[in-house]
Amino acid sequence: MRQTLAIFVDSYRELNYKKMFWISMSLSAIVVLLFAAVGINEQGLTLLWFDVPAFINSTIIPPDTFYKFVFATLGVGTWLSLGAMGLAFISTASIMPDFVSAGSIELTLSRPMSRIRLFLTKYLAAMMFVVLQVTVFTVASILVIGIRGKEWIPGLLLTIPLTTLVFSYMFSISVFVGVLTRSTIAAVLAVGVCWFVFFGVNAFEVVTLQLRVQDEVNLRQVSKEVEVRTVQIAKEEGRLAAGEAGARTAEGIEGLRRTLALKQDEQKRLSESVVTKVWWHRLSFVLKTPVPKNADTLALLEHALTESGAFRKVMFGVDDDGDAESRRRGMGANQRLIDKEVEQVLRSRGWVYVIGTSLLFEIVMVGLTALIFWRRDF
């Protein structure tokens, strides 16, 4: 236990000496100050003591909801997931290569401590960078929301483990390449390339899901129109056969039949397209499952903060009652309905799938790295 504590203390001192650590902490403080400087009142938005007239005001969106939205989209979605995370990778990329370099590792291995325990302790200690940074940012944001938004939300502390998880997914790649090559540059490049690849795989799955849902929504509407036209034709034929006044002529009924034929052709085309889109989406889902889901992990927090139906309707124009207006406009105006169904599918996967599969990837990477560290002759 004493050796483990000593490694943690040594890692903290190493981070403390890094200029990038303090630069990142300073930038986090600036982001929080900017977060606190923006407000909302009955006239619109505020910046420090200046009023900025806008269609969004406190009569439409309560201050606490406004601050939760800003924190989720800008604080977590932009700063923590991109800016702070990038600085963290640059700062920590050299930890493992420096640790296993000649002249350093020999002294550490001389301690009465197993190699696997030594490696795992160093791995966990290296993540203190992001833990400290996210903790400071999150606690400061809770204070801002509590003081300015008049609502205290301790649940925001969930940001700390979720952001740390996202960092750990990619850090496992950095450590693997760092131990394998002993090169900081190679570790940074590996994280950058893998981040790009994982982003592409996850984005491909979302795009194929959107295309699939789009065709499914359009097919449901066309099928409904085919059903309505069929009933209408049968009704008009019955009235014509009965000689009822006002019944359509044979030419009119023939026009309905031509329209029905066009809709049936469209229904057939959409049915075939749905089968193809479902196949592509299943393939993309299979490709996505084993890789880390960075955006999906952070989205778990955003979903929790923006769950309010009224909030979603005001900010995104989405009505939780089904968006009947969009349905009445026809296929060309169904984007909100499509987006809603896509979001429902993504949310239905839950944290077990998102975090569980991502952690499985990390466990495999850390296990391979530990095996290399254990067997290598330093």
> What DSSP state is assigned to residue 151?
-
Euclidean distance between CA atoms 257 and 264, whole angstroms? 10
Euclidean distance between CA atoms 321 and 74, whole angstroms? 28
As given in the structure block, the two tokens for residue 231 are: 């009933």
Q: What's residue 306's pLDDT?
A: 60
Q: How many domains does the chain have?
A: 1
DSSP-derived secondary structure for 313-334 = HHHH---TT--HHHHHT-GGG-
Per-residue pLDDT of the chain (378 residues; tens, 9 = 90+): 676 777 667 766 776 677 777 888 888 888 888 888 888 887 778 877 777 777 777 777 778 778 877 887 788 778 888 888 888 888 788 888 877 775 566 556 666 667 888 888 888 888 888 888 889 888 988 888 888 778 788 888 888 999 899 999 999 999 999 999 888 899 999 999 999 999 999 999 999 999 999 999 999 999 999 998 888 888 877 777 776 645 557 777 788 888 888 988 999 999 999 999 999 999 999 999 999 999 888 888 777 666 544 445 544 444 544 444 444 444 445 777 888 888 888 888 888 999 999 999 999 999 999 999 888 776
Euclidean distance between CA atoms 138 and 238, whole angstroms? 70
Q: What's residue 77's pLDDT?
A: 77
Is 174 part of any domain? Answer: yes
Q: What's residue 111's pLDDT?
A: 62
Residue type, 363: I
Q: What's residue 308's pLDDT?
A: 47
Is 154 part of any domain? Answer: yes
The CA-CA-CA angle for residues 271, 275, 280, to 5°, reads 145
Is 186 part of any domain? Answer: yes
The CA-CA-CA angle for residues 204, 207, 209, to 5°, reads 110
Is 234 part of any domain? Answer: no
The domain containing residue 322 runs over which residues? 2-193+293-339+351-375
Q: What's residue 158's pLDDT?
A: 87
pTM, full prediction: 0.79
Is 280 part of any domain? Answer: no
Is 266 part of any domain? Answer: no
Is 223 part of any domain? Answer: no
Q: What's residue 204's pLDDT?
A: 95
Euclidean distance between CA atoms 96 and 183, whole angstroms? 9
Q: What's residue 309's pLDDT?
A: 46
Is 58 part of any domain? Answer: yes
As given in the structure block, the two tokens for residue 148 are: 């300015």
